[in-house]
Structure 1
Amino acid sequence: MTATGQRFREFKMPDVGEGLTEAEILKWYVQPGDTVTDGQVICEVETAKAAVELPCPYEGVVHAVHFEEGATVDVGTSIIAVDTDPGAGPAEAPAAAPEPAAAAAEEDTEPQGRQAVLVGYGAAPSSTKRRARKPQPGVPAQEPAAAAVQAELNGHAAAPAAPAPAPSAPAAVPVAGRPLAKPPVRKLAKDLGIDLASVTPTGPDGVITREDVHAAAAPAPAAEAPASAVQPDVSPAPSGSEAVRARETRVPIKGVRKATAQAMVNSAFTAPHVTEFITVDVTRTMKLVQELKQDPDMAGLRVNPLLLVAKALLVAIKRNPEISAAWDEENQEIVRKDYVNLGIAAATPRGLIVPNIKDADAKTLPQLAAALGELVATAREGRTAPGDMAGGTITITNVGVFGVDTGTPILNPGEPAILAMGAVKLQPWVHKGKVKPRQVTTLALSFDHRLVDGELGSKVLADTAAILEQPKRLITWA
């Protein structure tokens, strides 16, 4: 059925973030025939930054869903058609979707600029009508399905077709020679390096299935040698690459993982990184953590060492505000920022994301604890909004939760520095002239050397460490 005019409205994939180009459909909440209202959530998509629920801007009945779950769709591509006037009676075109072969024929003959037909999901929106082509001498007649489509477009029924000879292949062949397959199957073939033209289809009407692609990707069995041949076994063994491939699993790079990889490469090869380290006695800080857990003002809030590291870094930035800046390559300017949006690197099932606490420098310790707890909970549930990951000015990554001493973190793109917090361990430490067991950790600060010279970076790191060694400086230095 073709969605035409104002009755059938096409909802296109929106840009739900900042300049995103594509999104993966994770889950559909509606199907063709379902009634939808304006603002109703119809699906969940995963962008390069987060999972987002999309509300429908139209009210009516779902006419067609153009993509399956798991499909990656470009921004601006229609994903669903809604009949906004279902009570107006039958539509102009037949209710049934065209056969795959007919759909493929229409797709291959459509003019430039028309949206491509997706096999199995009906024709794309169009008000263009075509004349039936006259048969040319020496050119084979159209297949019955294609002839029916051309006849229908001319407004009359197709003439009965003469019986065609039985095909040699077990499945139908597309009219225009293009293999028939749904978008997820085409993507699977592309990932496996399989040419769909070489795949034997087994699905209805000659549609190539996932099983067909996997069968084409499997190595062909070696031919048996004649029984009369008496000679050493010289049959070729599986090549090294085939043997290795059979023990590998390939995962498509997309979504958060793809965005993270691109961002890290851009950051590593754009900003000149420098990393400095400092090992500090945090025994007093760990005692303060335990005391704060019993404080009525912190009741119900998440109190941990990361909270005090974040507060210490914010105080260090206040003492050294020049580090809160960004490098504007296009305008050749350094942008000084009078605010701190503190990013916290969070590992999620979808990959690494860095949401940030807006105006973290203006928050009290209880407010900072509440914001940090909400940030972590939202990230774990996969509900972080794209806006929560935009506009960060500096980041903390807590590698200590994995038992790691420290690392050399890569800058979050556009930010001047990132602080890595290592594991807090009981170690022998010289305290008041004697070796005693103390709680010790190592901090690492990576910074953009275009913005931050060694002196400024060292001051920020040293001030952060000094506060963690003597937490009372949170009061005297704030």
Structure 2
Amino acid sequence: MTTEVRSLREFKMPDVGEGLTEAEILSWYVKPGDTVTDGQVVCEVETAKAAVELPIPFNGVVEQLFFPEGATVDVGTVIISVAVAGAAPAAAPAAPAAAPAKAEPAEPAEPERREVLVGYGPRTGGSQRRARRTTTTTVAAKAPAAPVAPVPAPAPAPVVPAQPSGDRPLAKPPVRKLAKDLGVDLRAVTPTGPDGVITREDVHAHASAAAAVAQAPVAEPAGAPAVVPAVLPAAVPVAATGDVRVPVKGVRKATAQAMVASAFTAPHVTEFVQVDVTRTMKFVRRLKESGELGRDVRVSPLLLVAKALLTAIKRHPEINAQWDEAAQEIVIKGQVNLGIAAATPRGLIVPNIKDAGGKTLSGLAAALGELIDTARQGKTSPNDMQGGTVTITNVGVFGVDTGTPILNPGEAAILAFGAVRELPWVHKGKVVPRQVTTLALSFDHRLVDGELGSKVLADVAALLEQPKRLITWG
């Protein structure tokens, strides 16, 4: 005879990327009382590198959510507990007193295995992490010592209200993130999307209306100072001044730290060149119309700029390098992992195409299209943003002619591709309208001297002026 028993299993914040120590909970997809199955996504979290959906590794019923949406939680901290059903044998008859039951030897405890969603497989034991200071915008995450249950607060309240699934506002994860950043309660927003889905426009409209109300004059006693809350919610307008405070965290925080480190660590040099890309633009149109690279492949000028840079690197591999401060050595990388700077709702990210130099033009086009689509959907994995060796930033899509790009940390060069404009140009001895762009190459002067940087930039320009050279030079 067996008796069904239920036990609690705890799911900890996993290591979602090498070197990351914390993650912010963006959205919960379950609530206490919901039934979950092995592999079901229960929440979405954001690290300093990307947003990641977390699947739970067992079946059961959700018992408790330990942190609300918006909380920043340390890796290894329990974030959800689940009641798991199981079968236990019925109690056996008591053994005679003269023959006490022999205790079964306990199996040796295995070291704790921590699930790693991105990286090099499960790791054993705890990880050593640097101490982290807690700010007013971060919820300190301390895991309860197992198996002791967490101590309830004096006024206990569920982290996520237990309500029917239909009461949860319908919105996609990026819209939920936007609402959280703007301090908007989705339950108060009027949806205009299909099937009652809240859109980005709905959130912005609600936030604008709330800001207008907040900035309306309020009668106060004479001489009374304006009251400003000590801790401001995310992106909440301050009624007294109209200022908006936005906590710097996640991708934006990592980007800010990386750019400061790059600017004050690597000695930057930037060179510029104007290029007649009339033939390149015609070549792009021909590839689009002919479908030579595949009917579903996106063809753009950025594709040929990328191919030109990769070809130039093949001729001058010394620019595909990294500075090893500890060994005081220059490491010339064996393959080119081409980064493409992408502006997303979560901030600037630079995913890269692994071994881009080894791809054909059609293979590069397919990889570039997939990279851009994934970034726009906010699904870029941390692994796709690690190991880059050189980067392209396409500032031309914003109508900008050029700029002085800052190096992605650990890389030796970054190429800025400016807007393509019709300008008067001397062509075959006559001034005629031509399609012209400006390229800017920034490089680390510790690894790349002026001669090498100039040769690479000149090669890229020559290839874009005569795109047929992509075939002969490649």
Both structures adopt the same fold (TM-score exceeding 0.5): yes
Q: CA deviation at 1:241?
A: 9.8
Q: Distance in 1 between matches of 2:308 and 2:13?
A: 42
SS at match of 1:334: strand
Checking the alignment, whether the CA contact within 8 Å between 1:309 and 1:468 is kept in structure 2 is: yes
SS at match of 1:442: strand
Matches within 5 A, 1:7-406: 7-85=7-85, 124=144, 126-127=146-147, 222-223=220-221, 235-236=222-223, 245-298=240-293, 299-406=295-402
Taking a change above 3 Å as real, the CA distance of residues 452 and 237 of structure 1, as seen in their structure-2 partners, is: same
Q: Distance in 2 between matches of 1:244 and 1:416?
A: 46
Taking a change above 3 Å as real, the CA distance of residues 60 and 180 of structure 1, as seen in their structure-2 partners, is: closer
Describe the superposition over 1:222-255 as per-residue Cα deviations: whole angstroms up to 9, x where unpaired.
Answer: 54xxxxxxxxxxx438579999853111111111
The answer for unaligned runs of 5 or more in structure 2 is: 1-5, 89-138, 161-180, 182-215, 230-237
Taking a change above 3 Å as real, the CA distance of residues 86 and 222 of structure 1, as seen in their structure-2 partners, is: farther
Checking the alignment, whether the CA contact within 8 Å between 1:71 and 1:183 is kept in structure 2 is: no
Checking the alignment, whether the CA contact within 8 Å between 1:346 and 1:352 is kept in structure 2 is: yes
Q: CA deviation at 1:72?
A: 1.5
Q: CA deviation at 1:475?
A: 1.6
Q: CA deviation at 1:59?
A: 2.6
SS at match of 1:64: strand
The answer for unaligned runs of 5 or more in structure 1 is: 1-5, 89-118, 130-145, 150-173, 185-190, 192-217, 224-234
Q: Distance in 1 between matches of 2:424 and 2:228?
A: 51
2:437 maps to what in 1?
Answer: 441
Q: CA deviation at 1:8?
A: 2.2
Q: Distance in 1 between matches of 2:148 and 2:471?
A: 73
Q: CA deviation at 1:181?
A: 9.9
Q: CA deviation at 1:84?
A: 2.4
* Letter aligned with residue 289 of structure 2: Q
Q: CA deviation at 1:472?
A: 1.4
* Letter aligned with residue 251 of structure 2: V
Q: CA deviation at 1:432?
A: 1.0
Checking the alignment, whether the CA contact within 8 Å between 2:11 and 2:56 is kept in structure 1 is: yes
1:3 maps to what in 2?
Answer: none
Q: Distance in 2 between matches of 1:449 and 1:421?
A: 21
Checking the alignment, whether the CA contact within 8 Å between 2:8 and 2:82 is kept in structure 1 is: yes
Describe the superposition over 1:45-80 as per-residue Cα deviations: whole angstroms up to 9, x where unpaired.
Answer: 111111101111233222211011121112221101
* Letter aligned with residue 73 of structure 1: V
Q: Distance in 1 between matches of 2:23 and 2:148?
A: 29
* Letter aligned with residue 349 of structure 1: P
Checking the alignment, whether the CA contact within 8 Å between 1:61 and 1:86 is kept in structure 2 is: no
* RMSD of Structure 2 on Structure 1 (CA): 3.2
Instruction: Give the count of matched residue pairs.
Output: 354
Identity over the aligned pairs, expressed in percent? 72
Larger CA Rg, structure 1 vs 2: 1
Q: TM-score, normalised by structure 1?
A: 0.68
Checking the alignment, whether the CA contact within 8 Å between 1:60 and 1:86 is kept in structure 2 is: no
Checking the alignment, whether the CA contact within 8 Å between 2:78 and 2:144 is kept in structure 1 is: no
Checking the alignment, whether the CA contact within 8 Å between 1:24 and 1:46 is kept in structure 2 is: yes
* Letter aligned with residue 334 of structure 2: D
